[in-house]
Amino acid sequence: MAPLQYAPTMAPMHHAPTMAPLPNYFSPTASGVPTPQQDAETIHRACKGIGTNEKAVISVVVYKQFYGKDLVEVLDKETSGNFGKTLHYLILPPIHLDAELLYDAIVGPGTNERCLIHVLLGRTNADMAALKNLYFAKYHKALESDVKSDVSGYLEKLFMVSIQ
């Protein structure tokens, strides 16, 4: 058997590769890479019917431009538990994730102060302004007032300085 080669410039390999594509996720194109349409179709099939093919969902990142549905909404509806939450967080743009984490840390019983510290502290003024605007657009509340109503003492002062 001839030695394996991946590209003409590479030296011949005398052993089998350690990674192999997972079977039955997609039919690759001639180049070996699935098209965006194939990826979107994979997610569409994975979320159709009872249950969700989680492995297929993980393997795909494109959806909305082909099916006209928001991927976050589809996956939120079709997945649950830690897997669903992880997918949701991975798909969100970072600033949207931060706004959602802040809201979840504040709303409801108790306060997740560790989350507030992680998200609020150490931001640039531009980042904080964008985060405050997005928070207000999503939740129709000012971030400052939500934080102020939920924490007190030195933490409140620290957060207010950071948010200003």
As for how many domains the chain has, the answer is: 2
Q: Which domain holds residue 110?
A: 94-163
- Give the SS3 label for residue 24: coil
For residue 132, being part of any structural domain is answered with: yes
**pLDDT tens-digit profile of 2-53?**
554 544 444 444 545 444 444 444 445 555 556 767 777 887 888 887 777 7
What pLDDT, on a 0 to 100 scale, did the predictor assign at position 149? Answer: 92
Buried-exposed string 136-154: b where 16+ CB fall within 10 A, e elsewhere: beebeeebeebbeebbeee
Check whether residue 129 and residue 87 sit in a common domain: no
Check whether residue 109 and residue 87 sit in a common domain: no
Query: What is the pTM for the complete model shown?
Result: 0.59
Contact 81, 51 (CB under 8 A): no
Check whether residue 42 and residue 87 sit in a common domain: yes
Check whether residue 64 and residue 117 sit in a common domain: no
Check whether residue 79 and residue 121 sit in a common domain: no
Structure tokens at 99: 């706004």
